[in-house]
Homo-oligomer: A and B are copies of this chain.
Amino acid sequence: MIKVGIIGATGYAGQSLIWLLSQHSGATIDFMCSHNNTDIAFSQTYPSYEGFIQDKCIDIHSSLKRLPYIDLLFIALPHGKSFDIVEKALEAKAKVVDLGADFRLYNPDVYKLWYELDHLATKHLKTSVYGLPELHKPEISKANLVANPGCYPTASILAIAPLLANSIINPSSVIIDAKSGVSGAGRSANISTLLCECNESIKAYGVGSHRHTPEIEQELSRVAGEELAISFTPHLVPMNRGILATCYGNMAKKIELKELYKIYEEFYKDQHFVRIIDSIPETRWVKGTNLCDIALRIDNRTNRIIVISAIDNLIKGAAGQAVQNMNILFGLNEAQGLKLIAMTP
């Protein structure tokens, strides 16, 4: 039984982690830490857990004292808040899956450029592993610190990687137009994410400047074997959950749709959570699951390939992928506790 601690337990990602772990037979929660809800029963913040979880959330000091007694620490905090905690957890011989952004970019200058913060734990950048299992499972299995990918990067990288790995598109032509539900903005009191401000409207935001851009570029550059820059435009959609990424690339060589599908199926043939599908993905079909649905289209009129991917931003884009990484870190079946079918409607 893997003993885990969770820091940031009452945010949407943290809570999703608890939801998944409640259904996982191989892990047990040692503590839940919440800054805003310390000493309050978790089920008071989330009444859905009434009758399932009796425990209260504890504060960060009590949490740090528990580090020696756990096997794995999940951190679900805003960027810039994990440096110190990771340090202490690793010292205490706990493995770490950080759902935040602090250890995803291997180059601290890139981190500083996009996050406008000095990286305060650069030594761990050398050993941290970017936790996208579909690309880095062997490294994850040996890691102590896993940087769980961002939600947009998960959907984007999985959609584009096979194209670049097979030199099918021009690396400088990648455009990712992504759409997310509002839970991606987190559970904090902001006017901009009030129901009345988001409902019945759609907008783009962070055009050309969103912090998930360098993360996507880092991983796609690795796959392509060359440095590339992408256009990435996130949008806010009036719904709770889900990310749809519509990705465009100019074909470097002619290819038939059938062949393209084969390449994707081959690329992901050993993966539990990538479904290469014929029909165009809709986020509802992966809601509440760790799946990434991907469909392919070739537009011969414009010589472009369009790849569309869909994930649940809180599961495959956060907590589910974190559990997937936990499974890998501790030698469990990668899909344990994650064989979920989307609930509809």
Contacts and interface: CB of A to CB of B under 8 A. Distances in A.
A345 B196 contact: yes
A237 B341 CA distance: 23
A343 interface: yes
A47 B283 CA distance: 11
Interface string A207-241: 11000000000000000000001110101011111
A301 B235 contact: no
Contacts of A199: 182, 195, 199-200, 238-240, 345
B233 A200 contact: no
Contacts of A190: 189, 194
A200 B242 contact: yes
Interface of A: 12, 15, 19, 22-23, 46-52, 172, 175, 177, 179, 181-183, 187-191, 193-205, 207-208, 229-231, 233, 235, 237-242, 244, 246, 248, 275, 277, 279-289, 293, 297-299, 301-302, 304, 306, 308, 310, 341-345
B345 A12 contact: yes
Contacts of A229: 301-302
A218 to B, nearest CB: 14
Contacts of A198: 195
A275 B50 contact: yes
Contact of A50 (B182, B238, B277, B297): B277
A188 B191 contact: yes
B207 A297 contact: yes
Nearest to A282: B203
A187 B179 contact: no
Given A203-B310, A229-B301, 11 more contacts: A19-B341, A52-B341, A177-B233, A189-B190, A200-B345, A201-B287, A202-B237, A204-B308, A207-B280, A231-B302, A343-B343
A57 to B, nearest CB: 15
